[in-house]
C-alpha cells in the first residue's frame, strides 16, 4: 500500500528544527495549502495514519491539524474528517509593484539637504547612550502629544539663546518635520474658519500641498528686491514666510516689512508662520533674530533638525502663541508621533553643547563652499553671479535672460541635478520673471563637492 502521505502528492520533509516537529509540520502543511499543492476539498489522512506514516506522535499531528483548522486552512467536520478548506486560497495577485529606481545623478546640487556625510554619527550615538540610559521608564510609554518635556525644555533654552525666540516648554510642539508641522497648522487654521493662507511668490511646492490638503487656498505675495512685500495682506488667516533667509531667493525680509507683517497680524488677528529652516547659518554676521521675538502672540516659529543635523531624524519644532498651543497639540493627535529615543537624544545633544559644535562646524563647511562657488563663478562663468546674503545651504545663481531651461537640461546631460528658479515659482507669482539656478551647495559630500562645482561651471553660460 502506498504511504497515505504520498497519495497527496506532497513532499513533506520534516526535520526536527528549532521550532519543533509540530511547528515544522504545521508550516509545511500550511505552505502546501497556500501554494495550491493541496487543493481545496482534499481530504487529509487521519492523524493516526499520518503519524504512523511520518513516524511521529499522533498528538503532534492532531495539534498541527487543530492549529490549521483554527487558522482557517483546514476544516474538520464530524464524520467527514479533516479537509483542505473549500475557499480557494489565491496568491497575491500579480507581481509586486516595482517602483522605478529613481535615476541617480552623478552630482546633486538640489537644495534642501545638508551634507549627510557630515552627520555626527559618533557624537549622536554617545548622546543616545547617555539619554536612553538615563530616561525614566515612563518615557518609553505613550507620550505627551506635544513631545518629550526634556526636548521641549532644551529647545526653549536653545531657541532663546540662538534665535531670540521667546517661549517656554509648554508652548513648544515637537513634530516629525516642518511639513508635518505645517499640516498640523493647516488643520488648526481650517478649523478656525480660515480659507486662505498668503505665501511667498517663490517657495517649495510640497509645503503648499500640505496647506491645500488641509483645505486651504494659497495666495502669493509680491516679491521684489526688498524681499516679500506684505502690504497686500488683508483678511488671510495666516501668512507663511521665511524671514531670515527667503527660500529660495536668499534675501532677508526688510526690517520695515518685518514690522508691517507683525502689525498686520496684530490688527487682523492673523497668524504669521515663520519658517526658520536655516536661521543658524549666516556667514557674514550674527543672524537676524527670529520674527517671533517681536510678537510671540501672533507668530508661530517653526524650526527643524533637517538642515542642522539630518532630515532622516524627522524632528522639527513649533513655538506657538499661548492660545494656540493646546489646539495644535490636539490637532497633532492624542499620541506623540515622534520616537522618544531620538527626542531624548536630541535634548541631550542640545544641552551637552554637541548641537552647537555641530552647527559651528557645518557653518564653516558651508561657508567655504559658498565662497568657492562665488570665486569659481567669477573666474569661469562671468555671465552668472551669486545673489542673496552669505547664509544658508543654497544660493541663487542669476543667469542671462532666457537661458535657465537650457542650462538645467545641459546639467542633466552632465549628470548634474540642479533646479532652475522656476521650479520654486508659485503659479500665481507676483514677481518679475528671472532666469536663475538654485544651487544647494550643502548637498554633496565633501569628496564630491569639487566635482559638482566643476560640472556646474561647465554648463553655465
Q: Which is nearer to its own copies, 6 or 106 (CB)?
A: 106
Q: Are 412 and 461 in contact (CB under 8 A)?
A: no
Q: Which is nearer to its own copies, 85 or 374 (CB)?
A: 85
Q: Which is nearer to its own copies, 255 or 409 (CB)?
A: 255
Sole binder of its own copies in the list 219, 245, 307, 314 (CB under 8 A): 314
Distance CA 439, CA 109 (A): 6
CA distances from 216 to 162, 191, 192, 213, 311 (A): 33, 11, 12, 7, 26
C-alpha cell at 374: 562665488
- Chain positions 208 to 227 lying near its own copies, rule: CB under 8 A, are 209
By CB under 8 A, tell whether 263 contacts its own copies. yes
- Which of the ranges 2-10, 52-60, 127-135, 373-381 carries the binding residues for its own copies, by CB under 8 A? 127-135
By CB under 8 A, tell whether 390 contacts its own copies. no
Taking the complex as a whole, the smallest distance from the CB of residue 73 to its own copies amounts, in Å, to: 7
Q: Which is nearer to its own copies, 51 or 176 (CB)?
A: 176
- Give the x-and-dash track for 403-442 against its own copies (CB under 8 A): ----------------------------------------
- Whether residue 325 is preceded by a cis peptide bond, meaning omega within 30 degrees of 0, is no
CA 219 to chain centre: 25
Sole binder of its own copies in the list 81, 293, 415, 451 (CB under 8 A): 293
Q: Which is nearer to its own copies, 198 or 325 (CB)?
A: 325
By CB under 8 A, tell whether 16 contacts its own copies. no
- Chain positions 27 to 66 lying near its own copies, rule: CB under 8 A, are 30, 34, 63
Q: Which is nearer to its own copies, 65 or 377 (CB)?
A: 65
DSSP state of 197: E
Q: DSSP for 37-102?
A: SS-TTPBPPPHHHHHHHHTS-HHHHHHHHHHHHHHTSEEEETTTEEEE-SS--PPPSSSPPPPPPP
By CB under 8 A, tell whether 147 contacts its own copies. no
Taking the complex as a whole, the smallest distance from the CB of residue 400 to its own copies amounts, in Å, to: 32
CA distances from 208 to 58, 121, 211, 217, 412 (A): 66, 33, 5, 9, 26
- Angle between helix 354-380 and 340-351 (nearest 10): 80
- Give the x-and-dash track for 161-180 against its own copies (CB under 8 A): ---x-xxx-xx----xx-xx
Q: Which is nearer to its own copies, 286 or 427 (CB)?
A: 286
Strands 385-387 and 395-398: antiparallel
By CB under 8 A, tell whether 113 contacts its own copies. yes
Taking the complex as a whole, the smallest distance from the CB of residue 320 to its own copies amounts, in Å, to: 10
Segment (H or E) for 260: helix 255-268
DSSP state of 105: P
By CB under 8 A, tell whether 87 contacts its own copies. yes
Closest CA to 320 of 347, 295, 342, 351: 295
By CB under 8 A, tell whether 327 contacts its own copies. no
Amino acid at each position: 500500500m502506498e504511504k497515505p502521505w504520498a497519495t497527496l502528492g506532497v513532499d513533506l520533509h520534516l526535520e526536527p528544527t528549532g521550532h519543533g516537529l509540530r511547528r515544522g509540520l504545521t508550516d509545511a502543511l500550511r505552505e502546501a495549502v497556500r501554494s495550491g499543492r493541496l487543493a481545496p476539498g482534499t481530504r487529509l489522512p487521519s492523524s493516526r495514519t499520518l503519524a504512523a506514516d511520518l513516524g511521529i506522535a499522533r498528538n503532534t499531528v492532531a495539534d498541527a491539524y487543530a492549529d490549521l483548522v483554527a487558522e482557517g486552512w483546514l476544516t474538520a467536520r464530524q464524520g467527514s474528517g479533516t479537509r483542505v478548506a473549500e475557499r480557494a486560497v489565491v496568491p497575491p495577485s500579480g507581481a509586486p509593484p516595482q517602483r522605478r529606481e529613481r535615476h541617480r545623478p552623478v552630482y546633486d546640487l538640489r537644495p534642501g539637504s545638508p551634507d549627510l556625510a557630515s552627520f555626527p554619527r559618533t557624537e549622536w550615538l554617545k548622546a543616545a547612550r547617555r539619554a536612553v540610559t538615563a530616561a525614566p521608564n515612563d518615557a518609553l510609554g505613550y507620550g505627551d502629544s506635544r513631545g518629550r518635556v526634556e526636548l521641549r525644555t532644551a529647545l526653549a533654552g536653545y531657541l532663546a539663546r540662538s534665535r531670540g525666540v521667546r517661549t517656554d516648554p509648554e508652548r513648544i510642539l515637537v513634530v516629525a518635520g516642518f511639513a508635518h508641522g505645517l499640516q498640523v497648522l493647516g488643520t488648526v487654521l481650517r478649523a478656525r474658519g480660515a480659507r486662505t493662507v498668503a505665501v511667498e511668490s517663490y517657495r517649495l511646492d510640497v509645503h503648499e500641498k500640505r496647506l491645500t490638503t488641509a483645505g486651504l487656498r494659497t495666495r502669493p505675495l509680491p516679491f521684489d528686491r526688498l524681499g516679500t512685500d506684505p502690504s497686500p495682506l488683508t483678511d488671510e488667516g495666516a501668512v507663511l514666510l521665511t524671514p531670515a533667509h527667503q527660500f529660495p531667493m536668499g534675501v532677508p525680509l526688510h526690517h520695515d516689512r518685518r514690522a508691517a507683517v507683525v502689525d498686520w497680524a496684530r490688527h487682523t488677528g492673523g497668524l504669521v508662520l515663520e519658517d526658520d529652516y536655516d536661521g543658524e547659518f549666516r556667514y557674514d554676521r550674527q543672524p537676524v533674530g527670529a520674527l517671533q521675538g517681536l510678537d510671540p502672540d501672533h507668530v508661530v516659529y517653526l524650526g527643524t533638525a533637517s538642515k542642522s543635523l539630518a532630515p532622516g531624524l524627522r524632528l522639527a519644532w513649533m513655538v506657538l502663541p499661548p492660545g494656540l498651543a493646546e489646539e495644535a497639540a490636539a490637532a497633532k493627535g492624542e499620541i506623540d508621533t515622534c520616537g522618544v529615543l531620538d527626542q531624548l537624544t536630541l535634548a541631550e545633544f542640545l544641552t551637552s553643547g554637541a548641537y552647537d559644535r555641530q552647527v559651528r562646524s557645518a557653518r564653516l563647511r558651508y561657508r567655504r563652499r559658498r565662497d568657492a562657488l562665488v570665486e569659481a563663478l567669477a573666474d569661469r562663468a562671468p555671465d552668472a553671479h551669486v545673489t542673496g546674503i552669505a547664509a544658508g545651504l543654497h544660493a541663487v545663481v542669476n543667469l542671462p535672460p532666457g537661458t535657465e531651461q537650457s542650462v538645467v537640461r545641459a546639467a542633466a546631460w552632465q549628470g548634474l541635478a540642479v533646479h532652475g528658479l522656476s521650479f520654486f515659482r508659485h503659479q500665481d507669482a507676483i514677481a518679475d520673471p528671472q532666469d536663475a539656478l538654485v544651487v544647494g551647495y550643502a548637498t554633496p559630500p565633501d569628496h564630491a563637492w569639487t566635482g559638482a562645482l566643476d560640472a556646474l561651471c561647465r554648463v553655465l553660460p
